[in-house]
Amino acid sequence: MHFTGTVYRNPYWETFPLLQITQGCTHNKCKFCTMYRDVTFQVQPMEWIEQDLQEIANIAPDARTIQLLSANPLAMTYDKLAPILEMINRYLPKMEYIYAATRVTDIRNKTVEQLKSLKEMGLREISLGIESGDDWTLERINKGYTSADILEQCHKLEDAGIDYWMTFLNGVAGKEHSHDHAVNSAKIFSQCKPMLVGTGGLTLVPGTPLLEEAQRGEFDPLSEKEMLIELKTFVENLTCDCSFITHHTISGKNLTGPDFLKRKDSIIAALEHEIEHGDLDAMAAIRNRKRTL
């Protein structure tokens, strides 16, 4: 398999075969991320992709699912992406679900009809690293798009019938804008129809511009308690009929599951309990051991 550099995969798709079709990230400027900082974006050679598919077909000829790598493989135009999906179906004829993580901006260069065509070829689910729906925060962390872009592109996915995840990055606005980050993100997310909303807590990892800003006193990170309060505010304002997962370091608390609206009150209650009684030092220790997103 032609994997280049570190392989990052969605932990909830862990049993799927992985097929790398691009290298790096087209944007590569988010202030909290170093995952692809030293990698120049490029499309994998078609001969590599075909060789990898041949290898997967030999090992798992009945594979029904596959995850596309790297950071945002859907950045490719329809004309470049469609032949790859066709090749996947040729080598793996039982293929049903093709998954990929990607950026909001990667949807722009595709029409709804093209997205529908990609769905017919098996592209059924996309994970979008939204991080925030608040325009101040999006500009502050250099995401490269606005809340209006989020709405426009997510609605295109809905029109095409492609399911998608949305992620909220807890703590990324710092103390200055925490409340607005939570409330405005929930408002934007609630105007969309994601199949799943996921949340993760910010970790200031070495090499990130955001850590350097924090060291200079230009970014004031949240405490563990403040992270929980922000997450609770986000949940209180979220009205999506979706599944909900969280990667927050809440010891012993499982906030993950389907039917968010039915579980919303219990999630809020769990967060309130952790705010008042949680082992915040243990949560901080877990976060401080992390060295990547």
Main-chain dihedrals φ then ψ at residue 198, nearest 5 degrees: -120, 145
> Chain-centre distance of CA 36, in angstroms?
15
Are the beta carbons of 170 and 200 closer than 8 angstroms? yes
- What would the pLDDT profile of 155-180 be if each residue is shown by its tens digit? 999 999 999 999 999 999 999 999 99
DSSP per-residue codes, 36-102: TTT---EEPPHHHHHHHHHHHHHH-TT--EEEEESS-GGGS-HHHHHHHHHHHHHH-TT--EEEEEE
Strand duo 65-69 + 97-102: pairing: parallel
What is the average pLDDT score of the chain? Answer: 94
**Residues of the chain where predicted confidence (pLDDT) is lower than 50:** none
The per-residue pLDDT for 59 is 95
Find the Cα–Cα–Cα–Cα dihedral 243, 144, 46, 67, rounded to 10°. -10
Please classify residue 14 by burial: count the beta carbons closer than 10 Å to its beta carbon, then call 0-12 exposed, 13-18 middle and 19+ buried. Answer: exposed
User: Percentages helix, strand, coil for the chain, rounded to the nearest 5?
Assistant: 45, 15, 40
The per-residue pLDDT for 290 is 75
For residue 275, the tally of other CB atoms under 10 A from its CB is: 17
- What would the pLDDT profile of 208-222 be if each residue is shown by its tens digit? 999 999 999 999 999
Per-residue three-class SS string for 155-171: HHHHHHCCEEEEEEEEC
Set out the domains of the chain in order of their start, with CATH numbers.
11-288 (3.80.30.20)
What residues pair up with 170 in beta bridges, in sequence order?
Answer: 201
Paired tokens of 265: 């009150």
